[in-house]
């Protein structure tokens, strides 16, 4: 039989909120690792804000890092454009200033993908929106380089409102 951490991670990955709640009630560790060394929040269906909210309310660590790329869940949600999930993560203590293994902040990833609503959220929360990753690229540069004109224009206006 699978351990509770694996069951909780599987339910979380499938977006099965009721099953997640039942497993948590039965004592499953909200920060327990599955066989792939990931937490339920790290494998959660990030577009399911209610599920993410339930995990965070149960004490899931929003700043836990992936053991391979050093990503946080906020990096993943920002890259995929899940604005409501990013808001929930931030409201539960997610640090948007943590960089992945190549120096990308969640802002870099959201800008690269052109997720304007996520960029709007992250700009005010990022300590240095002009920060470069290890390749020397800012969020603005990534938005421009990946032809995300609307996002790039917004960042540019934010950084230099004159």
What pLDDT does 2 receive? 61
Nearest CA among 108, 88, 113 for reference residue 98: 108
74-132 residue pLDDT tens: 999 999 999 999 999 999 999 999 999 999 999 999 999 999 999 999 999 999 999 99
Q: Check if the beta carbon of residue 99 is closer than 8 Å to that of residue 133.
A: yes
Residue range 50-73: mean pLDDT, rounded:
95
Tell me how far apart the alpha carbons of residues 4 and 40 are, in angstroms, rounded to a whole number.
11
Residue range 22-50: mean pLDDT, rounded:
95
Q: Check if the beta carbon of residue 58 is closer than 8 Å to that of residue 12.
A: no
In sign, the C-alpha dihedral spanning 148, 114, 156, 129 is negative
Place of tokens 């690229």: 137
1-61 against 62-162: fold identical: yes
Domain boundaries, the chain: 1-61, 62-162
Q: What is the CATH number of domain 62-162?
A: 1.25.40.20
Q: What is the CATH number of domain 1-61?
A: 1.25.40.20
> Does residue 1 surpass a pLDDT of 60?
no
């Amino acid at each position: 039989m699978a351990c509770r951490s694996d069951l909780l991670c599987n339910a979380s990955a499938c977006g099965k909120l009721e099953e997640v709640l039942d497993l948590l009630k039965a004592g499953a560790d909200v920060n327990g690792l599955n066989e792939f060394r990931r937490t339920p929040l790290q494998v959660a269906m990030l577009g399911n804000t209610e599920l993410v909210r339930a995990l965070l309310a149960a004490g899931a660590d929003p700043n836990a890092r992936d053991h391979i790329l050093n990503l946080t869940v906020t990096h993943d949600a920002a890259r995929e454009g899940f604005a409501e999930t990013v808001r929930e993560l931030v409201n539960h203590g997610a640090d948007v200033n943590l960089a992945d293994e190549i120096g990308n902040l969640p802002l870099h990833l959201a800008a690269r993908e052109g997720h304007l609503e996520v960029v709007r959220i992250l700009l005010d929360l990022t300590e240095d929106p002009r920060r470069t990753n290890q390749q020397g690229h800012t969020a603005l540069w990534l938005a421009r380089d990946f032809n995300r004109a609307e996002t790039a224009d917004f960042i540019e206006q934010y950084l230099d409102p004159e």
